[in-house]
């Protein structure tokens, strides 16, 4: 695969529990002209790590409903293996699958720290907000090995975890979180297939309630990819979830407004005399 260096590792080498590992299972990749059907039982999944040799570290966001322009993703794919992850379809661009390939074939950007430093040294860089990570988790287990890198309750899954919101907010605040946000479950592309299959296996007694609740807050659909509507729900039950979050946020002691970075505080890395007072704005 062009641009990738194979760094195959076994799951055991990362010190992880093997009991949660699945057999290989991926929905058909819409970008591939052929799809394989195995004639024998699929083999057990093994963790494989690939190195991305890209020289560009920042991704530019053009979505009008997201409050940032730049994001940095040191990893592609995620060992956390959340069935609802909206980033699953992005793995298919590489020729991988959105199922267990996303969970076990992890692409890393080993040069991420050096590439980011190069960005900061450019005269054109104005110290804008950079989101870690807009696609897959930068705090996944591999981070303990490679060290490449506000709380978000994401996603809210109607019929499964909305009742946990108050306790999550309280624990997050006690752990030092400064702000809290939430987004509704998104099941774009093959995420829907993976999510429903795994939820049916894990919660057979709740899967019907979950799908009914999701359709209720999505206007009869399981997913919505529209800008400004994909992160939010609609209807009476969604209003209940919003109120539950707001009450939990206030009880936990989160401030009413999120802290925002101030661009003119940015200083390029490198040797410089320590400032006693902040530089005056022009």
What does the pLDDT look like over 70-129, one tens digit per residue? 888 888 999 989 898 988 999 998 899 999 999 999 998 888 888 888 888 888 888 787
Q: Which among 158, 154, 155 is positioned nearest to 219, based on CA atoms?
A: 158
Most confident of 5-19, 112-126, 144-158: 112-126
Position 279 scores a pLDDT of 53
Report yes or no on whether pTM surpasses 0.85: no
Task: Tell whether the model's pLDDT for residue 11 goes beyond 60.
Answer: no
Higher pLDDT, 14 or 128: 128
What residues does each domain of the chain span?
1-149, 150-254
Task: Tell whether the model's pLDDT for residue 34 goes beyond 50.
Answer: yes
Position 16 scores a pLDDT of 45
């Amino acid at each position: 695969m062009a641009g990738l260096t194979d760094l195959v590792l076994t799951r055991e080498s990362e010190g992880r529990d093997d009991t949660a590992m699945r057999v290989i299972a991926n929905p058909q990749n819409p970008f591939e002209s052929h799809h394989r059907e195995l004639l024998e039982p699929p083999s057990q999944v093994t963790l494989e790590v690939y190195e991305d040799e890209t020289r560009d570290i920042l991704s530019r966001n053009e979505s009008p409903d997201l409050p940032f322009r730049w994001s940095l993703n040191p990893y592609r794919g995620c060992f956390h293996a959340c069935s609802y992850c909206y980033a699953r379809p992005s793995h298919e661009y590489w020729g991988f699958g959105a199922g267990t390939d996303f969970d076990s074939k992890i692409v890393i950007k080993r040069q991420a720290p050096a590439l980011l430093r190069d960005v900061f040294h450019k005269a054109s860089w104005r110290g804008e907000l950079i989101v870690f990570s807009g696609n897959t988790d930068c705090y996944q287990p591999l981070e303990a090995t490679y060290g490449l890198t506000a709380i978000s309750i994401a996603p809210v899954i109607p019929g499964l975890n909305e009742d946990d919101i108050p306790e999550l907010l309280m624990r997050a605040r006690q752990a030092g979180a400064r702000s809290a946000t939430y987004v509704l479950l998104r099941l774009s592309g093959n995420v829907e297939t993976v999510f429903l299959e795994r939820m049916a296996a894990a919660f057979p007694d709740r899967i019907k309630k979950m799908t009914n609740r999701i359709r209720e807050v999505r206007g009869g659909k399981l997913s919505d990819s529209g800008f400004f509507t994909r992160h939010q729900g609609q209807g009476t039950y969604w209003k209940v979830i919003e109120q539950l979050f707001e009450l939990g946020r206030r009880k936990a002691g989160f401030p009413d407004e999120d802290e925002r970075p101030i661009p003119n505080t940015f200083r390029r890395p490198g040797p410089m005399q320590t400032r006693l007072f902040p530089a005056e704005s022009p």
